[in-house]
Amino acid sequence: MAEFEFGGMTFKGGKMMIMLTALSSLGGAAWAGFEFYNDYRNMKEVVENIDIEAIKAENVLVVQKMDDNMARIEEAIEYTRDIKSGLRDDILSIEKQADRVEDQVRASEEKVRDMIEKANERFETKRDALRSDNDRELKDLETRLTDKLQRALDNPLAD
């Protein structure tokens, strides 16, 4: 069986595997610590080299842009409100005109209905008058014919 000696101790079998695992874990931890320290040192340099004045100046520019944008947004909102008010006024005007036209159409319909009714009454009166005139003329004709016929029957030699 394999064995090795470390620090005056001899390791064989399972103990050897445990020792190798512990040594490799210890080596990995040392490497991770070294890398962490390098990252920390680099980060410290980055933090120390930060230009606070440049960041403040950039922040001032951002705030100015935001203020400009807010002013534009407020102008757009006001413009939108004006459009909305104009559209509302236009719609109300159109509704009033539509109501006025509806009233005019109703009045025209009533006038036309009255005219038709009056025309129908006149036509009926005229028709009735013509019928009664025609009936009277027919009665007169019938009466004359009857009278003539009666005279002719009463006196066939006359006339």
DSSP secondary structure letters along 3-53: EEEETTEEEEHHHHHHHHHHHHHHHHHHHHHHHHHHHHHHHHHHHHT--HH
Exposure of 25 by Cβ count < 10 A (0-12 exposed, 13-18 middle, 19+ buried)? exposed
pTM of the model: 0.41
The predicted pLDDT at position 105 comes to 96
Q: Identify the domain containing residue 22 by its residue range.
A: 1-50
CA 80 from chain centre, in angstroms, equals: 16
What is the number of domains present in the chain?
1
The predicted pLDDT at position 114 comes to 95
Give every residue of the chain whose pLDDT is below 70, as ranges.
1, 6, 158-159
The predicted pLDDT at position 21 comes to 85
Q: Answer yes or no: is 73 within a domain.
A: no
Q: Answer yes or no: is 24 within a domain.
A: yes
C-alpha pair distances (Å), 60 with each of 50, 52, 53, 69: 17, 12, 10, 14
Please name the residues in contact with 5: beta carbons below 8 A apart, sequence gap of 6 or more: 11
**In which residue are the tokens 């009454």 written?**
121
Q: Answer yes or no: is 43 within a domain.
A: yes
The predicted pLDDT at position 158 comes to 65
| Structure letter (DSSP) for residue 157 | T
Q: Answer yes or no: is 151 within a domain.
A: no
Using alpha carbons only, how large is the chain's radius of gyration in Å? 61
Neighbouring C-beta atoms of residue 60, cutoff 10 Å:
10
The predicted pLDDT at position 91 comes to 96
The predicted pLDDT at position 120 comes to 93
Q: Answer yes or no: is 2 within a domain.
A: yes
Contact assessment for residue 149 and residue 158, using Cβ atoms and an 8 Å cutoff: no
The predicted pLDDT at position 110 comes to 95
Q: Answer yes or no: is 91 within a domain.
A: no
Q: Answer yes or no: is 67 within a domain.
A: no
Question: And the tokens for 86?
Answer: 């104009």
Q: Answer yes or no: is 92 within a domain.
A: no
